[in-house]
Amino acid sequence: MKQFEVPAFYRSPLLSQIKAQRKLADPRKKDFSPSKLQVGKFTFIIARHFGFCYGVENAIERSYKALQENPGKRIFLLSQMIHNPAVNEDLINNGIKFLQDTNGNQLIPFTELRPDDIILIPAFGTTIAIEQKLTQLGLDIQKYNTTCPFVEKVWNRSEKLGETQHTIIIHGKHDHEETRATFSHAVLNGPALIVKDMSEARYLGEYILGHRTAAELKSFFSGKISEGFEPEQHLTKIGVVNQTTMLASETQAITDYLRSCFIELHGQENIKMHMADTRDTLCYATNDNQSATLGLLQEEADFAVVVGGYNSSNTSHLVELLEQKFPTYYIKDASEIDQNSLRHFDFHHKEMKHTEQFVPHKEQIQVVLTSGASCPDSILEQVMMKILGSNYTQIELENLLSKLT
């Protein structure tokens, strides 16, 4: 795996050593059990995989290279590089300006751009329409295009599905940058439809099985289907791809459910005529982080802390998994912790909450800890230190690695 040049202040010497020890002991990533680090009365139960993934590190490296290689030039990011406020704030502080917000609303008109400006495409990619608009303005959109290779893999698979006359079913959030980009690329190759979750997949399945009309389906998925979509024609042969930050297990469950609908209609022996095998589009990093989170669920703990941006899809799914068992707090960084109280994000209701005495009064305290794919390890370490609320120094913490289990 390539080693990226990411600014040192994103790194954590402590957590880097933990990751290095696990990689040495388990190079093939077969063991998803967590690491454990005891510090005084606290035992931190740390996910086997957490933090920056390949696509995020690639995007960050190329963003800082753009700054180094283009002194004096205006540098623009199409939208947030990744869904982490600390990373985006640092890029802004270094002079990079954002053209759009995460919803695609224009912050700086494209008409203000000049051909010699530097444009960075974020890790999520962008739509065909925006690519064409920037190119028409004479801008080079490829030199610093940081689209994640695994997102591009989904686009390539969508192209192949279109070539074989499959309709492309996208498991994703229709208003998320990545899904907007994937939908844009998919419709170049064939009809496409977006399903957010199993509930929407079941509505689709009800149509396939003849329990919904075409008019009902088109109304229900309004804004989530390609132009000219005709259910009677386009829902006889499908393939499922996903927004790479969705729960991989849910993508697979949706695929399995839709497959069962076609088997019910046409029989197991004919399934390949109606359903493509698209398991190869699932992102390995998302899979690893989610499998590591399932490993955390095998443990006992007093509470869990998940660190990441509040608009981060992959982080919210880690929270979704952990809250099945633990009191789970979703925070963006250590600033949300104030002694024994904390502010945390309720992603179900999109609101901040405040909890007093989140650390129980016990002789021994077990804390589950993980972070999203766009969260720097340095932020996770700062959260750990804030939870400790003590005077442990960096050197003292690193010495505790001998107790790592």
Q: What is 149-282's CATH number?
A: 3.40.1010.20
The whole-number pLDDT of residue 86 equals 86
Beta strands in 69-146 (DSSP E): 75-77, 97-98, 118-120
* Torsion sign, CA atoms 336, 243, 374, 301: positive
The Cβ of residue 378 has, within 10 Å, a number of other Cβ atoms equal to 21
Q: Are 322 and 293 in contact (CB under 8 A)?
A: yes
Tell the residue number behind the tokens 């077969």, with chain if given. Answer: 30
Residues of the chain with CATH 3.40.50.11270: 55-136
The whole-number pLDDT of residue 390 equals 53
Question: For the segment 301-360, what is each residue's pLDDT rounded down to a tens digit?
Answer: 999 999 999 988 889 999 999 999 999 999 999 999 998 899 999 999 999 999 999 999
Count Cα neighbours of 141 within 13 Å in the Cβ-side half-sphere: 19
Q: Are 54 and 346 in contact (CB under 8 A)?
A: no
The whole-number pLDDT of residue 170 equals 97
Kindly state the tokens that stand for 6: 């990411």
Q: Are 48 and 31 in contact (CB under 8 A)?
A: yes
Q: Are 306 and 279 in contact (CB under 8 A)?
A: no
Q: What is 8-53+285-403's CATH number?
A: 3.40.1010.20
Residue 51, judged by CB atoms within 10 A of its CB (0-12, 13-18, 19+), counts as buried
The chain-wide mean pLDDT, for the chain, equals 91
The whole-number pLDDT of residue 400 equals 62
| Nearest in space to 123 (alpha carbons), one of 76, 51, 63 | 63
Q: Are 140 and 75 in contact (CB under 8 A)?
A: no
Concatenated DSSP letters for 180-219? Answer: HHHHHHHTTTS-EEEE-SHHHHHHHHHHHTTSS-HHHHHH
The whole-number pLDDT of residue 84 equals 83
Q: How far apart are CA 79 and CA 102, in angstroms?
A: 6
Question: For the segment 75-92, what is each residue's pLDDT rounded down to a tens digit?
Answer: 999 988 777 888 888 989
Q: Are 348 and 316 in contact (CB under 8 A)?
A: no
Tell the residue number behind the tokens 């849910």, with chain if given. Answer: 250
* Torsion sign, CA atoms 309, 311, 316, 319: positive
Q: Are 169 and 238 in contact (CB under 8 A)?
A: yes
At 72, which amino acid appears?
G
Q: What is 55-136's CATH number?
A: 3.40.50.11270
Question: For the segment 203-222, what is each residue's pLDDT rounded down to a tens digit?
Answer: 999 999 999 999 999 999 99
The whole-number pLDDT of residue 391 equals 47
Q: What is the DSSP letter of 323?
A: T
Q: How far apart are CA 81 and CA 56, in angstroms?
A: 8
Question: For the segment 146-180, what is each residue's pLDDT rounded down to a tens digit?
Answer: 999 999 999 999 999 999 999 999 999 999 999 99
For residues 169-202, one letter each, b for 16 or more C-beta atoms within 10 angstroms of the residue's C-beta and e for the rest, the string is bbbbbbebbbbbbbbbbbbebbbbbbbbeeebbe
| Nearest in space to 123 (alpha carbons), one of 61, 165, 32, 175 | 61
Which residues does 329 contact at the CB level (< 8 Å), separation at least 6? Answer: 303, 304, 305, 306, 342, 344, 355, 358
Question: For the segment 251-278, what is each residue's pLDDT rounded down to a tens digit?
Answer: 999 999 999 999 999 999 999 999 998 8
Q: How far apart are CA 271 and CA 8, in angstroms?
A: 51
Distances (CA, A) of 393 to 11, 44, 316, 390: 16, 17, 31, 9
Q: How far apart are CA 64 and CA 180, in angstroms?
A: 26
- Residues of the chain with pLDDT > 70, as a percent, come to 95
Average pLDDT over residues 30-41: 92
Residues of the chain with CATH 3.40.1010.20: 8-53+285-403, 149-282
What predicted TM-score, i.e. pTM, was given to this entire model? 0.86
**Any idea which of 70-74, 108-112, 289-293 has the lowest mean pLDDT?**
289-293
Q: Are 68 and 13 in contact (CB under 8 A)?
A: no
The whole-number pLDDT of residue 249 equals 85
Catalytic center residues: 178
Q: Are 381 and 46 in contact (CB under 8 A)?
A: no
Q: Which residues face 193 on adjacent strands?
A: 169, 225
